[in-house]
Amino acid sequence: MARSRAAYRKRHQNRFSMFLVTLIVVMIMVVVMVKSMDLRHKIDNYTAREELLYSQIEAEELRAEEIEEYRKYTQTKGYVEEVAKDKLGLMYEGEILFKED
C-alpha cells in the first residue's frame, strides 16, 4: 500500500510539473507574439518614415537644382539688364520708354 501511495504521489507530481512547464511555455509564446506584433508595428512606422524622408530628399534635390539654375541665370547679362531696367530704372542710350497712365 505504501508503494501505491508513493506511485500515486509521484504521478500527481509529474502531472503538476508538466502543467507548470506547459503553462510557462504558453506564457513565453504569448509574450513573444506580443513583442513580435509590437516590432512589426515599429517596422511599419519606420518604413513609412523612411519613405517620407526619401520624398523630402528628392524635393530638396530638385530645389537645389532650381537654386543652381537661378544662380547661373543671375550671372548672365540678361539678368543684369532686367534688374537695371526694373529696379533702377536705367535704359540704353537712344531707347524709348513707354509708360501707362
84 in Cβ contact with 78 (< 8 Å)? no
pLDDT score recorded for residue 4: 62
For 54, phi then psi, to 5°, come to -65, -40
Longest CA span, the chain: 133
For residue 56, pLDDT over 90 is answered with yes
Can you give the residue ranges of every domain in the chain? 2-76
Locate 37 and state its grid cell.
506584433
Say how far apart CA 52 and CA 46 lie, in whole Å: 10
pLDDT score recorded for residue 58: 98
The percent of residues in the chain predicted with pLDDT above 70, rounded, is 89
Q: Average pLDDT of the chain?
A: 89
